[in-house]
Structure 1
Amino acid sequence: MAQDGPDPTGDIVVSLPQGRAPQPLETRHVLDARDIALVDAVAADEILRRLPSVYVPVNSRGEAVAFVRNAAERQVALFYDGAAINVPWDNRLDLSLFPAALAGRAQVAGAPLAPLYGVSALGAVSFTPPRPAYGHVRGMIGSGGLREVEAVAPFTRGSTDVMIGGSYAARDGERIADNTDLPFSQRGALRTNTDREIASVFGRVGTSIGDHLLSVTAFHVDANKGIAPESDRPDGARYWRYPTLQHSLVSANAGLVLGPTTALDLVGWYQRFRQTIDSYTDDTYTVRNSQEANRDDTVGARVLLTQQLGRTRIIASANVLDSQHDQRDTTFTRGQPPALLPAFLHYRQRNWSFGLDATTALTDAITGEIGVGYDRVYYLETGDKPDTPDAKGWTGRVGLSWAPAEEWRIRAAVGRKIRPATMRELFGQALNRFLLNPDLQPERIVSADLGAEWRSDAAGASVAGFVQDLDGTIDQRNVGRLRQRINLIGSQVIGVEATAYWHPAPEWTLGGNGTFARSRRKGTTGDQTDRLAEKPDMIGRVYGDYDGQSGFGALAEVLYTGRAYSADADGVLVALPRSASVNVRLSQRVRFAGVAADVFARGDNLFDDRIVPQIGLPAPGRTLRIGLTISGG
């Protein structure tokens, strides 16, 4: 696992013909194609759980979302080949419905990030499309009625590379651990209402014309699933299903070298998202009481102009995103919709972000950076709600990097970001579960990072201390049986992140990572708790990977989650159990006639530990998978 990778927004900064590319000042971690293949993942949430500092809980809406260093999902930007793929209505994406087949590489970057990352980017996660040298087909079956097949085929003609692929996966449900306590809405060994079906097609075309790089990427996902009800409470649970979900993206990238010291990088994209939520009266899922239909259309663009001036590199950036959200909420009577459906309500926002970053080599060993930016969000249409003022604020980052030797690097940075409220936080009522708060204000975030990295041919290690200080943290409170979003005085996350790996022999890799974080509210008094929901005090992974010359492979890993807290039915934070998932993978590769066949078996959570990311919503218990991958080469 590499510590530094290309820019997590999707390799959008072209290396100039002259001038050494500066080292990044943020902490970065990467999973390459082999790392991802060893996960045997169906969806992206399974991949990201292997990245340092990334926590992926499943919320009460059934969405798997990514936290980075306990920065919550709306503070984390998601990118696919340079395009921002969070759905702007709520600035997040359900990673359990983003097929793993789309990911050839996964990266994470922790705060403080440069202004060029755009609005609401305290942390960033990026996927790049697969770019294999040879095609492959994989088939897999497993616990809970899992069945999955994926295929990727690359072609090359001259300087043009083409990749096309597709995937299909379905399951009957998630298996629950034997010791899980679910007093309500649960019958049988499979978790209630956790069936899922995902299909995808995707492709990429890339070419070069001289020093210029051009590419077009596209995917389409069609999915449906049920979400588990909160089974710790006799009433008030969500009895929801997502009968339809469609997610499409088309993006184009251009990396243009305008001269020996000048580059222009462009990316533009269109994203289409359709989702229907059916709400039922009880856990039999037979009588609907309401339905929410969502239509989201988003266009975005990023422009980076890079200029090398001697030992200084200057990047001027502009990001724009315009998103339309149409929503129709329908109330059913005795399971039937009204004769005349209500009209769609229309919501629209536009994000602008401008930045200027300068990086200079102060000496042969010391690099300095300063960046400033300005973010603004316009709420252009507000449905049937009153108009809302624009959200705006300045951003910035300063930092230093010192490389006293080739193996060592020490860096420090401090930055500022804002995180405006999303349209859903301002205007969404979640099928009459939320009380609106028109006075919701943007979060203001100051972050700092101090890190050191060491690498040799056989080993490497890193450690980074970090602070995130938030004013106006957006959280929730209970108002009767409804929830309402509010601004807290603020919150603070203080933590340490460490990674290490070692190759004791060519066939062996041993490694691990851990993130320790203290997440607290500011300004609490009396008997008020200072805890924050669903933010564990530790996450970690240790692993051993054997890749033998005989074709035999073995991977053993432990994923650990420390103490976290979650709100019960009365809104009181209660402690969740610590947990450890022990996972093992065995494989054998056989080559014949220019083809490689890999037979594999995988067991996750082998000791059937009770893993509870949110109260009443446990993660799967022991899960087994077997499969076969056939590839060229």
Structure 2
Amino acid sequence: MHVLHQSALASMLVLLVLAPEWSVATASSQTPADTTRRDSSAVVLEELLVRVGRPVATAGGASAVSVRLDLTRTPPAPTLDQALRNVPFVQVRTNSRGEAQLSLRGAEARQVAVLVDGVPLSLGWDGRADLAGIPVGGAGHITLVRGLSSVLHGPNVLGGVVEVDVSHGSSTEREEEPLRARAGLDHLGGHAFGATAALPVHTARGELGIRGGAGFRSRPGVAGFGELRENSDLRHVDGFVSGRYVDRTRGWAALSAFASRAERGVPPELHLSRPRFWRYPEASRSLLALSSGTGQRQTPLGRGDLEASLGVDLGRTEIQSFRGRDYQQVVGRELADDRTLTLRLLGDHTLGQWAGLRTAATLADVRHDEVLDPGGSARYRQRLWSLGSEIAAPLPGGGRVSGGLALDAADTPESGDKPPLGRLAAWGGRLGANVPLGESVLLHAAASRRARFPSLRELYSGALGRFVPNPELRPERLLAGEAGMTARIGALELQAVAFHQRLADAIVRVSAGDSRFRRENRDQLRSTGLELLASGGWRGAS
């Protein structure tokens, strides 16, 4: 796995050396091109494109926010958690393990999917992604979907989707800068540097774009009350390469890869009787995403296209547990290697003149090898798969309705020295509609049901003596409903969405005594809210 990290970084450095006609460029201030998917429309803000609109596959209620990264106030060499802090309605926090996690409409990180070029990063050992370990310096834009907009995103998607676009799709509207470099320094002594380069190649048969970049971040710690927080230092380096080819028929193929490595401390929870005194000598991750699509093609039954994506997600984590706050005596170690393979197929086709059908299949194979000192070694493995389909059709007056069903399943064929989890299966569904009122108002509503299977960590991890494993956890089940309105009044854009969610068999952390915890299913968690978003401009101000 270290070879993969070094290879990705070496390829990126070669690209930086060979790219011609470089010039340092700042962020473009022109109005961003509309990159909205077919199932949404756009409401323009100063730095955001807010999508709520007329979907083809999932009509109604699919409210989302899309961020164009070159127009946002992110630090040099940003990671996904830093980019999401600029997005409304999402909360980003650091958990007790020092990992950056998001919360959306009361849904925790394991209920929100994170996709990079169509490859899910949230189906691993922990069932969630550390946002601080995902570099986004090579991303064009990030789309945050609030709620369940589709049953086609794969298993374990309940509360939303974060889609990071690096080189996915057939769009060629993105303008590439030959060279972009940024650097920053803060008052605490932290510093960061990031650079990206692009090399477009135009041929008679199509267009090829090659990009690469690198980033480095370092901080002595996080600001506390008059001083730095204890054990909160960080050193992080990453690199990426990507390429995309689009032919004249709009067929396309893309590759994107990134590698990152970090060394960091974890601020102790001093309010607990037995706080963690942890450090990560190594937290590394590598991703390879391959994707391809046919583009819209004529068939005997109408028009349709087919997309496929393959992901290889590798990670290595080393944790040292210390006896006290001096961080001198190591009392425990955990060394873990992770490998997640994913395959996703997505197809859509017209049904008659106005209706459409979309179908998707997702397969994931998760493997986790760990060595505990004390404790020995073990291997864990989980398989997840999902098959879903949606149909959309027009309504009188210009509206649209859609419905979808999905079947999800999971099992754990390898579970170390603990009992394996048998085959679990659950169905999901979604129904939505939107209705325009004139040319300036759109009403939309949706209802959905979906399940999430417990991750390997929730089932089997002892977290160096911090948790008691519970291999008898049951899947969570979410029932959700929302209704909203999007309106334009002159130069003012308004959006309001009300939602209610009920999570049955919620997996929560409870005390197990002796300063340890245990994850258990609880009867029900409910969340209700109202989201309001407004934007407007006057004489160039917004």
Q: TM-score range by the shorter chain?
A: 0.7 to 0.9
On the 8 A contact 2:180/2:196 being kept in 1, the answer is yes
Q: Supply the AA of the counterpart residue of 1:493.
A: S
Match in the other structure for 2:440 = 407
Counterparts of residues 320-359 of structure 1 (less than 5 Å): 320-331=363-374, 343-359=376-392
On the 8 A contact 2:280/2:317 being kept in 1, the answer is yes
Structure 2 residue matching 1:417: 3-state secondary structure: strand
On the 8 A contact 1:435/1:482 being kept in 2, the answer is yes
Structure 1 residue matching 2:538: 3-state secondary structure: coil
Q: 2:288 aligns with which of 243, 247, 250?
A: 250
Counterparts of residues 241-320 of structure 1 (less than 5 Å): 241-257=279-295, 258-259=297-298, 261-309=303-351, 310-320=353-363
Q: 1:203 aligns with which of 241, 246, 253?
A: 241
Over 3 Å counting, the alpha-carbon distance change for 1:343 and 1:282 in structure 2 is closer
- Shift of the alpha carbon at 1:57? 1.5
What does the per-residue CA deviation read over 1:379-430, in whole Å, with 9 as the maximum and x for residues that have no partner? 1110110121222100010011112233321110000100111111110010
- Shift of the alpha carbon at 1:60? 0.8
Structure 2 residue matching 1:45: 3-state secondary structure: helix
- Shift of the alpha carbon at 1:285? 0.9
- Shift of the alpha carbon at 1:23? 7.0
Q: Supply the AA of the counterpart residue of 1:218.
A: A
Match in the other structure for 1:128 = 165
Note the residue ranges of structure 2 that are not aligned, 5 or more in a row: 1-30, 40-53, 168-173
Give yes or no for the alignment of 1:90 onto 2:138.
Answer: no
Structure 2 residue matching 1:116: 3-state secondary structure: coil
Match in the other structure for 2:65 = 29
Give yes or no for the alignment of 1:378 onto 2:411.
Answer: yes
Structure 1 residue matching 2:471: 3-state secondary structure: coil
Give yes or no for the alignment of 1:229 onto 2:268.
Answer: yes
Distance 1:87 1:413 in 2: 26
On the 8 A contact 1:41/1:47 being kept in 2, the answer is no
Distance 1:436 1:218 in 2: 34
TM-score after normalising by structure 2: 0.84
Distance 1:421 1:311 in 2: 40
On the 8 A contact 2:76/2:183 being kept in 1, the answer is no
Q: Supply the AA of the counterpart residue of 1:193.
A: N
What does the per-residue CA deviation read over 1:84-121, in whole Å, with 9 as the maximum and x for residues that have no partner? 11251111122123234243312211223321011111
Give yes or no for the alignment of 1:66 onto 2:66.
Answer: no
Match in the other structure for 1:78 = 114
Match in the other structure for 1:435 = 468
Q: 1:168 aligns with which of 184, 205, 216?
A: 216
Match in the other structure for 2:46 = none
TM-score after normalising by structure 1: 0.72
Match in the other structure for 1:516 = none
Give yes or no for the alignment of 1:239 onto 2:282.
Answer: no
Counterparts of residues 555-594 of structure 1 (less than 5 Å): none
On the 8 A contact 2:59/2:400 being kept in 1, the answer is no
Structure 2 residue matching 1:124: 3-state secondary structure: strand
Give yes or no for the alignment of 1:391 onto 2:391.
Answer: no
On the 8 A contact 2:57/2:390 being kept in 1, the answer is no
Of stretches 38-47 and 481-490 in structure 1, the one that deviates more from structure 2 is 38-47
What does the per-residue CA deviation read over 1:274-311, in whole Å, with 9 as the maximum and x for residues that have no partner? 11111111111111100111111111011111111221
Of stretches 377-386 and 98-107 in structure 1, the one that deviates more from structure 2 is 98-107
Distance 1:213 1:407 in 2: 36
Give yes or no for the alignment of 1:193 onto 2:231.
Answer: yes
CA RMSD between the two structures:
2.2
Structure 2 residue matching 1:145: 3-state secondary structure: coil
On the 8 A contact 2:64/2:143 being kept in 1, the answer is yes
Structure 2 residue matching 1:46: 3-state secondary structure: helix
On the 8 A contact 1:132/1:154 being kept in 2, the answer is no
What does the per-residue CA deviation read over 1:453-486, in whole Å, with 9 as the maximum and x for residues that have no partner? 1236733110100111111011111121210111
Match in the other structure for 2:500 = 467
- Shift of the alpha carbon at 1:125? 1.1
Count of matched residue positions in the alignment of Structure 1 and Structure 2: 477
Q: Supply the AA of the counterpart residue of 1:139.
A: A
- Shift of the alpha carbon at 1:20? 9.1
Match in the other structure for 2:521 = 487
Structure 1 residue matching 2:267: 3-state secondary structure: coil
On the 8 A contact 1:133/1:154 being kept in 2, the answer is yes
Match in the other structure for 2:510 = 477
Give yes or no for the alignment of 1:215 onto 2:254.
Answer: yes
Q: Supply the AA of the counterpart residue of 1:328.
A: V
Identity value in percent? 26
Match in the other structure for 2:10 = none
Of stretches 83-92 and 167-176 in structure 1, the one that deviates more from structure 2 is 83-92
Over 3 Å counting, the alpha-carbon distance change for 1:453 and 1:236 in structure 2 is same
- Shift of the alpha carbon at 1:39? 5.6
On the 8 A contact 1:55/1:70 being kept in 2, the answer is no
Q: Supply the AA of the counterpart residue of 1:231.
A: L
Distance 1:54 1:4 in 2: 21
Give yes or no for the alignment of 1:146 onto 2:153.
Answer: no
Distance 2:193 2:136 in 1: 11
- Shift of the alpha carbon at 1:45? 1.3
Match in the other structure for 2:394 = 361
On the 8 A contact 1:113/1:121 being kept in 2, the answer is no
Structure 2 residue matching 1:473: 3-state secondary structure: strand
Structure 2 residue matching 1:74: 3-state secondary structure: helix
On the 8 A contact 2:287/2:312 being kept in 1, the answer is yes
Over 3 Å counting, the alpha-carbon distance change for 1:261 and 1:495 in structure 2 is same
- Shift of the alpha carbon at 1:22? 5.7
Q: Supply the AA of the counterpart residue of 1:291.
A: R
Structure 1 residue matching 2:470: 3-state secondary structure: coil
Distance 1:408 1:448 in 2: 20
Match in the other structure for 2:532 = 498
On the 8 A contact 1:112/1:449 being kept in 2, the answer is no
Q: Supply the AA of the counterpart residue of 1:290.
A: G
Match in the other structure for 1:554 = none
On the 8 A contact 1:28/1:108 being kept in 2, the answer is yes
On the 8 A contact 2:58/2:402 being kept in 1, the answer is no
Distance 2:95 2:163 in 1: 21
